[in-house]
Each structure stands twice: as C-alpha cells, then as structure tokens.
C-alpha cells in the first residue's frame, strides 16, 4: 500500500542545527487573526539555514530573505488600513519558544513595495518605501528587538489607509548589532504577500529620496551598521531612508475599483499547510474508483510535504490520515465515498498567541504631522 514517510526525514537533526538564537519571520496575522504558519510568507525553504542572517548587504536576499525571490501560492487580502502582525521565531516550527536572543539588540523596520504581478515582478530592485522604524527607545531603555522579545516575537503595524489598493510585498526587518562593531551587522527579513482591498485607487506619488532599491539602500560602513551597542553614543542613527508617510486624499472611484484575481486561498479546501491546500477527492462507487481516489489523495499529501516550509508539515500529516482512512475503506470493501465527504479537517498549527500587541505605528501619523508643522514654523521664524 502506498504510504509516505514522515515530513522531511531527519527534520529533528535539521532543526537542532538552527536552535542558535537566530530568527525567521514565519507567520502573518491580519487584524489579529493568524493566517496559518507560512501562509502568504516568503521565507527560506532550508530548515538548516532559514534562521541565518542575510549573507551581505549587497545580496539580493536583502529584499525578501534567502529564497524570497520565489513567490508563494497565496496572497492574503487585507482591508485598507488593516493591521498586520509579523511573528518571528528562533524555531520556525515552534518546537521550542523564543523569538530572538536577548543579545541580538538592534532596530526594526517595515518596508513595502507595490507590484503588478506577484508571480513575475522582482522583489529585489527599486520601488521600496520605508513605512515605519524604531531603534533605541530612550523612555523604556530598550532596543526594538528587546520589545519584540517582550511581545513574544510579535511586531504589529497598521497599513496606511492612503496606500493604493492592489498587490504588495510587506517586508519586516530586524537588524542585530551585537557584532556590528566587528564588521558583522546581521539583517533578518522576509516578505508577506498582501493584497490591499478597497483602498486608494490613485497612484502613489513618492517624493525623491523616499523610494529606494533593495539591495543598495544601506551601506556596510554607514554608522547605523557599525554602531557599538557596548559603548553606545546616542541617538542611534537609523539606517536606510527616512520613513515615508503617504498623504493626500483617498480616491475610491468605483469605476476604477480593483479586485484580487490571483493568489486567493480556495474556499472549498479541507485543510491548509502554509501555501498548500487539500481538496476533496472525487466521488466513487466502485473498487477501482476507491483506489483511484486513494492514490489521488496520497498524491496531494506528497505535494504538501514537498512544499512545506521550515514551519513544518503538521497539517500534511492530518491530510495523510484522511488518505489512510480512504485506503482502509477500500481494503474493507466499502467502495462508496469518500468518507466524511467535504468535512473540514482539524488544523494542527501551533496555538494562536494571546496578547497580540498594538500597532507600533499607531499614532505615528499625528507625530509626523506635528514634526512637519514645527519644521514649517521654524522656517518662517
């Protein structure tokens, strides 16, 4: 009887190799709801190196991480102005708790890039804007990464309401400075594939200096990447461009309304594992049909295991149990099925985290307007 081996033979050894205090962006939440481990997330598919820092600031991996040039099957829809939460883990499959080692102190940022074709457009290159950043917080005496640890690896961000509707890559970034004084700043990143629904239909006009190319948006020798956290001289010089705050009126002309055409999760799926879904097999009423559906079920299981990222294949195992049930029915002479047709299967994704933090940029618009007002006023004084 056809039967598949456990997900990624040797996975225990592989993940043991990455339990080293590095980190990976693994899971996207939308308005405080988890989309499922790995769903809509571009991340390295190598469980041995997926938590490693980017190998050089000139690498194309700076855009969406190692392997981030490859799109994933699903793009998650988000209402205009919605809240995104990015979960970071030391162990991508949540086998052990932890987000990043406390020694890895440094800033965080969120970048975004609009694309027309999620499958074909390059992540690396021009068109990126920084929408939020935070370095060292004088009031709390903590770096952004320390706050991330306090929040169980969760970083939340509100999408500016005036961002145009359409397909976007959202890129959370961590920079660990524990070896920066030795010439080794460590960047960690990944990308979420997002479709902004019902938002601004007007084109985004980004002033010169705010739109950057990744890589090339930071230099290895700039002060923010060589900063000595052991003998710090504050304020910390944030690397990269200035934060861009989209402004202007929001146009939502119905004649130009956009709808998501690609990357939606099928509504009729029975279970999802990252960017794979299990779909019900064909009805059957004969012995030949029973075994054909059993084989088709196991074919789907294989695709699940093959596509599973380092967050794991727990739901592939759930699907394989369904396939075993069909095979058992065939062996028992029950040739009418499939059993439990169309019933959703129970996900084994890690339990949803509690205490999802407020958006880090909540209220930032008001603060930026205040600073701009002061700057304008000083120009007339």
pLDDT tens digits along 163-193: 999 999 999 999 999 999 999 999 999 999 9
Q: Is the pLDDT of residue 69 over 60?
A: yes
Whole-angstrom distance, CA of residue 191 vs CA of residue 267:
24
**Would you state the pLDDT for residue 142?**
98
**Would you state the pLDDT for residue 12?**
40
Predicted TM-score (pTM) of this structure = 0.90
β-pairing, 142-143 with 136-137?
A: antiparallel
Lowest mean pLDDT among 42-56, 61-75, 134-148, 241-255: 241-255
Whole-angstrom distance, CA of residue 113 vs CA of residue 131:
10
Segment 206-220 shows an average pLDDT of 96
| Token pair 């304008």: residue | 376
| Token pair 């939308």: residue | 30
Q: Among residues of the chain, what percentage have pLDDT more than 90?
A: 82
**Would you state the pLDDT for residue 10?**
41
pLDDT tens digits along 5-47: 444 344 443 333 334 569 999 999 999 999 999 999 999 999 9
Whole-angstrom distance, CA of residue 84 vs CA of residue 213:
23
Whole-angstrom distance, CA of residue 147 vs CA of residue 90:
16
Q: Are 273 and 314 in contact (CB under 8 A)?
A: yes
Whole-angstrom distance, CA of residue 150 vs CA of residue 257:
40
**Would you state the pLDDT for residue 203?**
85
**Would you state the pLDDT for residue 237?**
98
Of the two residues 309 and 257, the one the predictor is more confident about is 309
**Would you state the pLDDT for residue 314?**
97
Lowest mean pLDDT among 210-224, 237-251, 337-351: 237-251
**Would you state the pLDDT for residue 363?**
75
Segment 78-88 shows an average pLDDT of 97
Segment 139-165 shows an average pLDDT of 97
**Would you state the pLDDT for residue 258?**
80
Segment 350-363 shows an average pLDDT of 89
Lowest mean pLDDT among 93-102, 251-260, 265-274, 315-324: 251-260
Angle of the 314-331 helix axis to the 287-307 helix axis, nearest 10 = 170
Mean pLDDT (the chain, rounded) = 90
Joined together, the tokens standing for residue 285 give: 């009423």
**Would you state the pLDDT for residue 374?**
47
**Exposed, middle or buried, 168 (CB in 10 Å: 0-12/13-18/19+)?**
buried
Side-chain-side CA neighbours of 318 within 13 Å: the count stands at 19
């Amino acid at each position: 009887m056809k039967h598949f081996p456990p997900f990624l033979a040797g996975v225990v050894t592989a993940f043991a190799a990455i339990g080293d205090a590095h980190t990976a962006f693994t899971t996207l939440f939308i308005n405080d709801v988890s989309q499922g481990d790995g769903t809509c997330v571009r991340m390295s598919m190598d469980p041995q190196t997926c938590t490693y820092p980017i190998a050089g600031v000139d690498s194309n991996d700076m855009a969406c991480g190692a392997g981030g040039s490859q799109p994933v099957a699903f793009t998650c829809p988000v209402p205009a102005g919605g809240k995104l939460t990015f979960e970071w883990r030391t162990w991508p499959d949540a086998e052990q708790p932890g987000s990043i080692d406390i020694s890895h102190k440094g800033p965080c940022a969120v970048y975004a890039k609009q694309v027309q074709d999620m499958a074909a457009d390059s992540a690396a290159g021009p068109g990126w804007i920084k929408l939020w950043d935070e370095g060292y917080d004088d009031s709390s005496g903590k770096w952004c990464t320390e706050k991330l640890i306090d929040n169980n690896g969760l970083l939340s961000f509100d999408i500016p309401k005036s961002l145009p509707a359409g397909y976007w890559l959202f890129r959370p970034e961590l920079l660990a400075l524990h070896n920066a004084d030795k010439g080794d700043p460590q960047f960690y990143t990944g990308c979420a594939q997002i479709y902004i629904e019902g938002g601004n239909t007007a084109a985004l006009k980004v002033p010169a200096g705010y739109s950057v190319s990744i890589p090339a948006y930071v230099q290895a020798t700039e002060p923010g990447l060589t900063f000595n956290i052991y003998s710090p001289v504050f304020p910390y010089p944030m690397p990269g461009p200035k934060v861009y705050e989209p402004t202007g009126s929001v146009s939502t002309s119905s004649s130009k309304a956009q709808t998501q055409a690609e990357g939606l999760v099928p509504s009729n799926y029975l279970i999802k594992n990252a960017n794979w879904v299990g779909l019900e097999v064909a009805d059957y009423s004969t012995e030949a049909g029973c075994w054909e559906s059993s084989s088709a079920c196991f074919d789907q299981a294989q695709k699940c295991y093959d596509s599973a990222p380092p967050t794991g294949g727990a739901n592939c195992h759930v699907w394989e149990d369904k396939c075993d049930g069909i095979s058992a029915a065939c062996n028992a002479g029950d040739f009418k099925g499939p059993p439990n047709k169309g019933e959703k299967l129970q996900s084994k994704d890690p339990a949803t985290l509690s205490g999802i933090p407020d958006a880090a940029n909540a209220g930032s618009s008001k603060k930026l307007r205040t600073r701009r007002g002061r700057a304008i006023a000083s120009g007339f004084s």
